[in-house]
Amino acid sequence: MKKGNPFALIPIVVFLVLFIAVGIIDNSYGGMFGDSLPAIVGFVIALVVAFLQNPKGQKLSFEEKLNNMARGAGDENIMIMCLVFILAGAFSASVKAAGGVDSTVNFGLSIMPGSVAVVGVFVVGCFISTSMGTSVGTIVALAPIAIGISEKTGIAMPLCIGAAVCGAMFGDNLSMISDTTIAATRTQGCDMKDKFRENFKIALPAAILTAILLFLRTKGNDYVMEEALEYNFIRIVPYLVVLIGALAGLNVFMLLVGGTFLSLCIGIAYGDFTLIESFGIMGEGIMGMYDITVISIIVAGLVSLVRQNGGIDWLLYIIRRCIRGPKGAQIGIAALSSVVDCSTANNTVAIVIAGPIAKEIASDYDISPKRTASLLDIFTSVFQGLIPYGAQMLYASAATATAAVSVSSVEIVPFCYYPILLGICALVFIIFEKKKS
């Protein structure tokens, strides 16, 4: 077993220290965590540090290091992942422009009785986030409704907003077009439908328990919609096509292209935009994925240099000394992804960083790629839905700024039942699952 070189991890440490320190300083002056130091800038600085290092006992030329970085950045899985990011961005933008988001929200709330309004926010959030593939987008869509329910029923604002966050995080690690799902499956080399099934049997119990808790906490509070919520089921169809098609095992590229085309046709048919405008809509969606696409390429190159210098070998050496058996390995993967997410405040970036290490651990202890992808996605989502400085919590808190009662992200955390229960269910599943022959 190679002991590796702990100093090869310095570039990653540099990124984490910079990102966290600048975020804390900026936040203390009223800024939003992560805004002052964009992740891509931090990773470029880390990449420069990695280029200054050499493997233990060797001295490589700049060209050799550059070639190694390029091989890592151009890895087959990384390139496929980036292409899926781009197609997912085009689909999300087109279906939103075609009124899919509004129709989905209104349809879900229209069929839910007023006595379970807060539970309804959670359930609708589950469907929207699974369909849209974005937790932040789901929170933005649902937060105004959750605020209205709180103001009219007297139910605590943090509880209502927490229900929206819970629903958003449900689809964050289940959606076929979520950037976390794309990153987890591509770094581990498994099919999305297999990873979905692995996740779903853990996520479903957590979701049911969350709905029960929300019902008990809000029992006896009725909420009546003051006006009829308008929706068009045709506008929801693209979501259903992509979701059902992905579960059926159809090619994700074809599904996203087909879903985008269907959304644009619906939008044009209903007069939401013209054919010429549709190109701009797709362009905006694709540009919205630029950051995570470029970050994924840079991180892949950085990890390749860290691996070449012995950093991954050292990390695996330490982890293997602490792990005993497959269950311990799964808990190790869960802990690794959780710590990285808490450090970066971005679950997709956390998966891209932890993915290669998790794959090595899984290979050593014969853990299936779909299980590893599931663990990465679940535990990064668990903490992303709980850390008060993450984008989800910050957007949820910001939505209440103009409400009668504004709440901080810290006040919302205790009511984020779903992420907490998801983590508990996942640990129970790891510990008590019987080994298959």
Note the pLDDT tens digit of each residue in 322-369: 777 889 899 999 988 888 888 777 888 888 888 888 998 898 888 999
| Greater pLDDT, 226 or 279 | 279
What pLDDT is recorded for position 5? 86
Top-confidence residue, 287 or 28 = 287
With a pLDDT cut of 70, the percent of the chain lying above it is: 92
In a domain, 55, yes or no: no
Does 182 map to a domain?
yes
Q: Per-residue pLDDT tens for 181-219?
A: 888 998 898 888 888 889 999 999 999 999 999 999 888
How confident is the model at residue 228, as a pLDDT? 64
Task: Determine, yes or no, domain membership for 274.
Answer: yes
Confidence of residue 244 (pLDDT cuts 50, 70, 90): confident
Could you tell me what percent of the chain has a pLDDT over 90? Answer: 25
The residue type found at 334 is A
> Which is more confident, 34 or 433?
433
Model pTM score: 0.77
Domain-embedded: residue 29: no
Task: Give how many domains the chain has, as a whole number.
Answer: 1
**How much is the average pLDDT of 261-268?**
93
Can you give the pLDDT at residue 64?
Answer: 92
First to last CA, the chain: 28
Amino acid at 156: A
**The 3-state secondary structure of the chain, one letter per residue:** CCCCCHHHHHHHHHHHHHHHHHHHHHHHCCCCCCCCCCHHHHHHHHHHHHHCCCCCCCCCCHHHHHHHHHHHHCCHHHHHHHHHHHHHHHHHHHHHHCCHHHHHHHHHHHCCCHHHHHHHHHHHHHHHHHHHCCHHHHHHHHHHHHHHHHHHHCCCHHHHHHHHHHHHHHHHCCCCCCHHHHHHHHHHCCCHHHHHHHHHHHHHHHHHHHHHHHHHHHCCCCCCCCCCCCCCHHHHHHHHHHHHHHHCCCCHHHHHHHHHHHHHHHHHHCCCCCHHHHHHHHHHHHHCCHHHHHHHHHHHHHHHHHHHCCHHHHHHHHHHHHCCHHHHHHHHHHHHHHHHHHHHCCHHHHHHHHHHHHHHHHHHCCCCHHHHHHHHHHHHHHHHCCCCCCHHHHHHHHHCCCCCCCCCHHHHHHHCHHHHHHHHHHHHHHHHCCCCC
Over residues 116-129, mean pLDDT: 86
Domain that holds residue 151: 76-432
Residue 66 lies in a domain: no
Quick check: is 53 in a domain?
no
Query: Could you tell me if residue 157 is inside a domain?
Result: yes
| Nearest Cα residue to 401 out of 155, 168, 165, 143 | 143
Instruction: For residue range 400-414, list pLDDT tens digits in order.
Output: 877 777 888 888 999
At 52-107, the pLDDT tens digits run: 998 877 888 999 999 999 998 887 777 887 887 788 888 888 988 888 877 877 77
pLDDT at 437: 45
- Which pLDDT tens digit goes with each residue over 139-178? 877 887 888 788 777 888 999 999 999 999 998 888 887 8
pLDDT of residue 144: 79
Distance of CA 291 to CAs 180, 285, 340, Å?
14, 12, 19
Q: Average pLDDT of the chain? A: 84
Q: How many residues does the chain have?
A: 437
Q: What is the model's pLDDT at position 378?
A: 94
Mean pLDDT of 295-303: 85
Measured at the alpha carbon of residue 393, what is the angle toward residues 150 and 284, in degrees to the nearest 5?
105
Residue 67 covered by a domain? no
Determine the pLDDT at residue 114: 63
